């Protein structure tokens, strides 16, 4: 299965925020939509990402006031993304091995530089698990219906 198929099957709403917005606005938006990241957009172009981990890291290490700290001050600027042609396994691999050197949990999907969706590690794990269960059922059915050899 490809990312394109996954996006067609799930509710594909991609939430974003401006780099001039405050961290408090980002937290409110993430809590409102029960999501763990927002794509940072400038002039309809994705320029970074802000995640719940970024928020926690910033508060813990810098003790900042999230009402006055701008997204641009804390956002990740090395945007790791995939495109619609990626397979689920390629996307999962990218989440573990990418240019940031860190594991990521949210993967923006771009099509010719335009943001078309977002997949999470949960989306990928769920779909990969469903594929594995299907393959398992097919193999069990195949084995159970294995033709017996003619011993005569």
What is the DSSP pairing of strand 114-120 with strand 106-111?
A: antiparallel
pLDDT at 135: 84
User: For the chain, which domains are there?
Assistant: 3-144 (3.10.580.10)
List C-alpha distances in Å: 122 to 6, 25, 36.
12, 24, 11
- pLDDT tens digit sequence for 19-35: 999 999 999 999 999 99
Residue with tokens 């530089």: 113
Higher pLDDT, 152 or 56: 56
The predicted pLDDT at position 152 comes to 55
Give every CB contact of residue 5 below 8 A, 6+ residues apart in sequence: none
The pTM for the full model equals 0.80
Q: Smallest Cα–Cα separation from 114: which of 10, 8, 14?
A: 14
Which pLDDT value is given to residue 100? Answer: 85
């Amino acid at each position: 299965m490809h990312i394109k198929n996954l996006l067609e099957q799930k509710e594909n709403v991609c939430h974003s925020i401006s780099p001039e917005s405050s961290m408090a606005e980002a937290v409110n938006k993430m809590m409102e939509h029960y999501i763990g990241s927002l794509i940072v957009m400038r002039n309809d172009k994705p320029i970074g990402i802000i995640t719940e981990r970024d928020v926690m890291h910033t508060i813990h290490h810098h003790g900042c006031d999230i009402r006055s700290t701008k997204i641009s001050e804390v956002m990740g600027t090395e945007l790791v993304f995939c495109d619609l042609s990626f397979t689920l396994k390629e996307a999962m691999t990218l989440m573990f091995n990418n240019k940031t050197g860190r594991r990521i949990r949210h993967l923006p999907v771009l099509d010719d530089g335009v943001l078309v969706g977002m997949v999470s590690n949960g989306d990928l794990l769920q779909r990969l698990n469903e594929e594995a269960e299907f393959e398992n059922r097919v193999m069990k059915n195949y084995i159970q219906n294995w033709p017996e050899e003619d011993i005569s």
